[in-house]
Homo-oligomer: A and B are copies of this chain.
């Protein structure tokens, strides 16, 4: 993700070190902030402030302008690490239309009712890396994916119990009993729709970025309020907390190379070719060096939650699959998160080693009653 690309894409009038014409498939999605922050009394020049290098402005709504549902939003370019803002947020009302199957056996038709059938509210936060492209696409796409996925199963979402067959017909008289025994609730269908939406959005981002020759990825943290429940879907290292009068409750956990160590090491164990002989999947307290050869040192492999000792061999001196500690921990020396959207083309610098296989698009999901 080059700064040059960002300038070409979003700053057509800016100073270009090596100007090139935009690609034939440039993404149609513009850089923008959420609607509720636009025209918030910051003055006509303010909208462009975040595009200027080193400006790092923090935007917040003008005094007296209430955010929807008391949502907060800050747009920050972090500590000069990035020249441009890579993060995005989105919020809005989810308007889910109804579709209905024919009731008679030979009627396989389907009607999409144009009017709203079910409404919910949607908030999302996308922490971008390698440029803002993926975060911008996610902020413009994920809610549409979710709406589409929910519309596909809306009859099950509003049912007292999701039917085994979406058509509502019982092939076997005890189908409702099977569904009940499995403990399948309407909430599980919403969770399934959120999982599918993340996957669909990741595919859209992959196609769009490839078509426009762009790169980058982002985390995704989504909260959806639907039918009296608050759903939180998290893929990345952002955090959702619920603040009530006397309680601050975490609604998500973070996914980093450290918290997902065993999953990542397990994948490298199953597919060692993903490391191309350049990395070791084993974890040691620090990167090993020649002097450690033949010594018995602390290590952990994919199946271990505890630590053990092993004699150091030459292959253990390779760069570790997960290296560093805390906020410095990196996957393949490159990424500090282990779940998210995008990064389809991301490779370890100067190698052909892809990071995407180690990244999960799948969010962790939970819901709470409002």
Contact = CB atoms under 8 A, between A and B. Distances in A.
Given A164-B297, A166-B296, A181 B325 contact: yes
A172 B194 CA distance: 48
Interface in A136-194: 152-153, 156, 162-167, 169, 171-172, 175, 178-179, 181-182, 184, 187-194
Interface stretch (A206-214, A239-247, A301-309, A346-354): A301-309
Oligomer copy total: 2
A167 B296 contact: yes
A105 interface: no
Contacts of A304: 192, 195
A258 B270 CA distance: 23
A254 interface: no
Contacts of A175: 285-286
Interface in A305-328: 305-309, 325-326
Nearest to A286: B178
Contact of A166 (B193, B196, B309, B365): B309
A306 B179 contact: no
Interface of A is mostly: mixed
Given A189-B307, A303-B362, A297 B184 contact: no
A307 B192 contact: yes
A309 B151 CA distance: 12
Contacts of A305: 191, 195, 365
Nearest to A304: B195
Contacts of A309: 152-153, 156, 166
Contact of A171 (B152, B178, B291, B362): B291
A48 to B, nearest CB: 41
B166 A307 contact: no
Contacts of A296: 165-167
A58 interface: no
A292 interface: yes
Interface of A: 152-153, 156, 162-167, 169, 171-172, 175, 178-179, 181-182, 184, 187-196, 270, 285-286, 289, 291-292, 295-298, 300, 303-309, 325-326, 360, 362, 365
By Cβ-Cβ distance, the 3 closest A-B pairs, closest first, are A191-B306, A192-B306, A192-B308
